[in-house]
Structure 1
């Protein structure tokens, strides 16, 4: 019984030491850098560079101006509201028409 307790203690110690070493190695890895906060201008630049919105309901491509007239039921103003019947998405960062 005493040998069994020693074996369990040794196994537990090996697991703890391995966990500490792995954590230290990953914490010191140069691939991980602190997260950078984006400025509101940087966020606007990213949003304005969006060329299309891809959803399970289809692809909506950016358009400069919409010459087409859609029913109000086919227009949404939020990406979360897109459905199968959506044909136009109007957001703060652009207008997109279903391809």
Structure 2
């Protein structure tokens, strides 16, 4: 006879095992896609319109305006100045201030 805690541990362990297998499967599929994309090639005489991978690779987003050089230089200057500022340590409250005051039940006058 299995106790509920034993069943819970076993199902938890099986869930972790299933999760690991799913992650491993996703990693393998991703690796195969990267391998296929890196070894993709055509002859010069082939039409690229027939290849789905080539169509997806040549699909660029809509034209976006370029960033003006002055704005980029300003951003880099601000980022450099912010990186050079001294680090301010985070201030934490002492744990004794986080504990509420003791409270007793009301006094009953007799």
Task: Tell me the TM-score normalised to structure 1 length.
Answer: 0.32
Structure with bigger helix share is: 2
Between Structure 1 and Structure 2, whose CA radius of gyration is higher? 2
TM-score, scaled relative to structure 2: 0.29
Higher strand share: 1
